[in-house]
Chains A and B, each alone.
Chain A
Amino acid sequence: MNDGIIFEDVSKFYGEILGVNRVNLSIPSGITGLVGPNGSGKTTLMNLMTGLVRPSRGRIQVLGIATDDSENLFRLVGYSTQFDAFPKGLTGFQFIYSYLCLTGTSQQEAERTAWQAIERVNLTDAASRKIAAYSKGMRQRIRLAQALAHNPKVLVLDEPLNGLDPLARSEMIALFRASAAAGCYVIISSHILHEVDVISDQVILLSNGYVVAEGQIQSVRNEIQEHPTQILIRCDRPRDLAAKLFQSEYMIEASIHNDGRGLLLKTRDADRFYLAMNQLALDGIQIESIAPADDDVLSVYEYLIGNEEVVR
């Protein structure tokens, strides 16, 4: 039975403190970004789907497996946590090797697979050093190697790009994309919104323990009615274009771009606006590009949650 990652009316309370409340989700394959400010419930949601914490109410299944069945769950799931502690005295290689031995893999096979996982995160040179001597970025990569080591179908990654340099970030993003392309479920939490925007096929927006939106970012944006859609038109005569566009009933606001070669406008119905624009006589105005300006995660996040702790 394989029906994605299902949350059915899940709540988690830590004593009287709310972790997440009444979460109903069905996470499909591909890359799913978990977005929300600190304390919004991202890590709780990840800990719930990996059985590290038990729901106070509701039911969770990962590819048909209950999260309290750790023996079967972690054959399918790899979780790179934010916990920055490791078993004492282990080298990077021993850490991955020991983990693989715990899965029941033979020692010979575990050794081979451990090196493969370490190579995937480009940590081969440091593999024989103690983890205690690793930099933050190296510790992040060895955690990723652990999550990837047994080739899981579901990858749960809590702030996986934290502490990585730009080159390592792009390598890791490529790795996540490759996993998603291979049919894996990759769930990534981040508060760096432009990264989530670039990586994710779909997003889950969290605020104060509640899921405030989920789905593909464009469809989430379209559902936000109270904020008009913004469109940026690059052209040679933005003032003339603005005058013409105000003839359309769908445009409600326009402003000239700072560089004087573009027009930022707001509309309540983007589809009808595009249709109306086709019918306008533009009198030789040279249009370079027309693109939505606020159907990214950052804008959606700001509209739904506000701009607290947004990292561009």
Chain B
Amino acid sequence: MNRLWWTQIKAVIRLELKKTFFAKRGLWIYAVAALPVALFVAYAIVMANHQHQSASIARQSQWALTRQDMLSIKAGMTKEEVIAILGKPPLDLQWTENRRVGPNATEQILREDFHYSDGLDNLYLGLQNGKVQNVMMEDANNFGQDAIMFAGVFQFFFLRLAIFFGCLGIFMNLFRGEVLDKSLHFYFLSPIRREVLMAGKFLAGLLATCTIFVTSEILQTVAFVWTFNPHVRDLYLYHHHGLEQAAIYVGVTVLACIGYGAFFLVAGMFFRNPIIPAAAILIWEGINPFLPAILKQFSVIYYLKSLCPVEIPVSPGTPSLFALLISNADPISPPLAIGGILAVAFIALFVSSVQVRRMEINYTTE
């Protein structure tokens, strides 16, 4: 790339960023990006409150409990055995239940719920007539389950909806918005190659979307790990690939902005109404798991799914249609996925560059 082109690209980026970052009509993109952050902040608040309750329950215990103490409780143990190990429950609930045992006979059942905590983990016991029937241990540091929850929000909301529609809002308007505002001639009257203009606009869109969505992604991660206490947080980040996963999520976010950005840039040149390409691309991305292998390669989500660090398990009993949507039946290696997404983006940008050369300023017919 020669120096003049780069100077021109920087000039385009400066102009476009002013429009992209401070446009009133783009405020909803910030809202969409902020939504998962709000979700994880809310989750963090709930978890903090929960931990506060756990600590409070632990303080009310007759003696300091350990995780091992709580794990030693098994179904079938008597109430007395439980109290011998864990002491009197800080929180308990008792009620009686009448159960019909014959045509005219009922049996009275005494039910009790005990709640113990060591300050982090919680133990919930269900007793029937003085015997332990249900044991539920709630781990404070359930990395696996929390990571799956984070992955679910990332894949099914952030990637497929927030970034998708955010890119639609920003990239589709790069050219189409200027045609609607009747201001595209400003660029077309300058001594700049149309391809260079397109590259400048794409990079400006990319910079804007990456800033918005990477910031959102980082804030989500911060809010998410905030729920762990410092010791658990360190354990998660440095010994359970938490930091590595966070970096991968940021990378996938950037690649999603590149892929969807290129798709919507080209769509903005061909369509006046953004709903048509948005619906078409959304459906195309949605039906990706059902497409033949060759067609799968022309979608963005196909590559992004393979790059996501945590796979979402399919629960038994999930309908096969949903199971297919959730699982990644045909994963590819990360280098291939990155190469694939860049190739798809390159094809879209090539089509854009051909189209931008053909564009005419003819606002009256728009």
Which residues of A are at the interface with B, using a C-beta cutoff of 8 A? 14-15, 47, 50-54, 68, 70-75, 79, 81, 83-89, 98-99, 101-104, 106, 146, 150
Q: Which residue of A lies closest to B365 (CB)?
A: A14
Which residues of B are at the interface with A, using a C-beta cutoff of 8 A? 4, 7-8, 11-12, 14-15, 18-19, 22-23, 181-183, 185-194, 196, 357-358, 360-363, 365
Contact A103 B361 (CB under 8 A): no
The docked-state distance in angstroms from the alpha carbon of A101 to that of B363 is 25
Question: With A68-B357, A104-B7 in contact, is A99–B191 under 8 Å at CB?
Answer: no
Contact A70 B11 (CB under 8 A): no
CB contacts (< 8 Å) of B11 on chain A: these are 98, 101-102, 104
- What distance in Å separates the Cβ of A279 from its nearest Cβ neighbour in chain B? 59
Contact A104 B4 (CB under 8 A): yes
Q: Which residue of A lies closest to B177 (CB)?
A: A88
- A102-B190, A103-B8 given. 7 additional CB < 8 A pairs? A54-B360, A68-B357, A70-B191, A70-B192, A74-B189, A102-B12, A103-B192
The docked-state distance in angstroms from the alpha carbon of A103 to that of B15 is 13
CB contacts (< 8 Å) of A75 on chain B: these are 191
Contact A52 B361 (CB under 8 A): yes
CB contacts (< 8 Å) of A15 on chain B: these are 365
Contact A86 B357 (CB under 8 A): no
Question: With A88-B19, A102-B12 in contact, is A52–B183 under 8 Å at CB?
Answer: no
What are 11 A-B pairs at a CB distance below 8 A? A52-B360, A70-B188, A70-B194, A73-B191, A74-B190, A83-B183, A83-B185, A86-B186, A102-B11, A104-B191, A146-B189
Q: Which residue of B lies closest to A17 (CB)?
A: B365
Contact B360 A102 (CB under 8 A): no
- What distance in Å separates the Cβ of A52 from its nearest Cβ neighbour in chain B? 4
Contact B191 A103 (CB under 8 A): yes
Question: With A104-B4, A104-B8 in contact, is A85–B183 under 8 Å at CB?
Answer: yes
The docked-state distance in angstroms from the alpha carbon of A86 to that of B189 is 12
Contact B362 A53 (CB under 8 A): yes
Query: Which listed residue, A52, A83, A85, A102, touches B192 by the CB 8 Å rule?
Result: A102
Nearest first, the 6 closest Cβ-Cβ pairs linking A and B are A101-B11, A74-B191, A85-B182, A102-B190, A52-B361, A104-B4
Contact B183 A87 (CB under 8 A): yes
CB contacts (< 8 Å) of A79 on chain B: these are 189
Query: Which listed residue, B181, B186, B194, B196, touches A99 by the CB 8 Å rule?
Result: B186
Contact A87 B189 (CB under 8 A): no
Query: Which listed residue, A83, A87, A89, A106, touches B363 by the CB 8 Å rule?
Result: A83
CB contacts (< 8 Å) of A104 on chain B: these are 4, 7-8, 11, 191-192
- What distance in Å separates the Cβ of A115 from its nearest Cβ neighbour in chain B? 18
Contact A89 B18 (CB under 8 A): yes
The docked-state distance in angstroms from the alpha carbon of A104 to that of B4 is 6
Q: Which residue of A lies closest to B22 (CB)?
A: A89
CB contacts (< 8 Å) of B193 on chain A: these are 70-71
Contact A87 B19 (CB under 8 A): yes
